[in-house]
Structure 1
Amino acid sequence: MLVKDVMKSPVLTVGPETTLEDAYRFLLEKGIRHLPVVEGERLVGIITDRDIRLATSHLNPQGPCPTCAPVAEVMTRGVVTAHPLDPVEEAARLMRERKIGCLPVLEDGRLVGIVTGIDLLDALLRLTGVTEPSGRLEVRLPDRPGELARLTGFLAGRGVNIHSLLSYPEEEEAVRAVVRVKTMETHLLAEALRREGFQVLWPPKKPW
């Protein structure tokens, strides 16, 4: 799954001359938290509802109009961006490392979309297959060639369709596989896997 598959487009934007008051009202009206700031077709910054609240709380309340300041005065410059063809996991890693809540998406220097943390959560739900009626299996496998194929081969032999399969390495040379399957009879399937020597973590073994 790529950024272009989950990003929002077209993007709601403001110009650098927009006042903080108008930008905040726009955020509230549209139910969003991030506003890219563009000048012509060029992305020059980004501002969030939190930026505006912090900025106005530090402005002199005795001033002529604290919220009349332009967003250019408080926006974040040097914006971290993504490309439409970036994998969603790379976008998630970048947002986590930089501790930011969104990534404007640029293609040939042009703003074509925006991806937020909520968009990435939606992508995770789709990747795991949890949005479809399915059962869940979690199996610990030895970290060696052929083990994942052995698991999928076993499921195929049982006529079980796989909705999604995610795996990640663990310590002690093991891999954990999380499988969404097109059956709700996961307890029966888990017992059959255990009889074949698989270490099934979920669903847990019944006490009877």
Structure 2
Amino acid sequence: KGCKQLPVIDDGQLVGCVTEQLLSEVSPSKATTLSMYELNYLLSKTKVKDIMITDMPTGTSNMLMEDAAQLLINSGVDSLPITEGKKLVGIITRTDILKSYLELTGVGEFGTRVSIKAKDETGILADITGIIKNFNINIAHVANYDHIGSDDAGEIIIRLASTETDELIKALEASGYEILSVRQNLNE
């Protein structure tokens, strides 16, 4: 379920892949005038080797997740076979990339997510983390997003391993930082 691309293996080696789109292209139309017997005969003569893609992007098991994501985007495929030489050792999908992103940003973890508007200047992150350190709160995750179309403002997302953050938020605001949002997750 949800699989849009299947690897084709011959003698343990990756030789190609078959996609959902390729299968629909070789399948008869629902409006066909062929009988069920004729359809079965035609489909029984269609070989995977005749329809598979042989020139496809692949990744390696030591590839960085961000490089795999870029390769998926650039190639327009939904999954990336992972090989060692020509041997298939795994498959990474767009869903795997999204799960990795959620893990990287700490979505679903206990704590507080603070979004701070911040200029792209040297020392801003150090200043913000210094303020957090003064409250003895652990930083679980940090992400920085540039706002497209904005010359100097971005967004720093900090996930804190605490829900006791009211005084910290006041201190950040008193230091001149604009707090865009504060969201707490009480699930442990």
What's the RMSD between the two structures over aligned residues? 2.3
Residue number among 41, 61, 79 corresponding to 1:65 in the alignment: 41
Partner of 2:133 in structure 1?
156
Percent sequence identity is 29
- The 1-side partners of 2:120 and 2:26 are apart by 51
1:94 aligns with 2:65: no
1:51 aligns with 2:22: yes
Mapped contact 1:137–1:179 kept (Cα < 8 A)? yes
Matches within 5 A, 1:184-195: 184-195=163-174
Partner of 1:84 in structure 2?
61
TM-score by length of 2: 0.82
Task: Give, as a single letter, the amino acid of the residue that structure 2 aligns with 1:87.
Answer: L
SS of 1:65's partner is helix
- The 2-side partners of 1:186 and 1:96 are apart by 38
Q: How many residues align?
A: 175
Mapped contact 1:186–1:203 kept (Cα < 8 A)? no
Q: Deviations over 1:16-64 (max 9, x none)?
A: xxxxxxxxxxxx6xx6432111222321111133432332135974355
Give ranges in structure 1 of 5+ residues lacking alignment. Answer: 1-27
Partner of 2:13 in structure 1?
42
- The 1-side partners of 2:180 and 2:69 are apart by 27
Residue number among 159, 176, 182 corresponding to 2:161 in the alignment: 182
TM-score by length of 1: 0.74
Mapped contact 2:81–2:88 kept (Cα < 8 A)? yes
Mapped contact 1:187–1:203 kept (Cα < 8 A)? no
- The 2-side partners of 1:107 and 1:175 are apart by 39
Q: Deviations over 1:68-96 (max 9, x none)?
A: 21111221220111111221122112212
Q: Deviations over 1:107-152 (max 9, x none)?
A: 2332111100111111111101113212111112221211111111
Give ranges in structure 2 of 5+ residues lacking alignment. Answer: 184-188
Structure (1 or 2) with the greater strand fraction: 2
SS of 1:77's partner is coil
- The 1-side partners of 2:75 and 2:167 are apart by 44
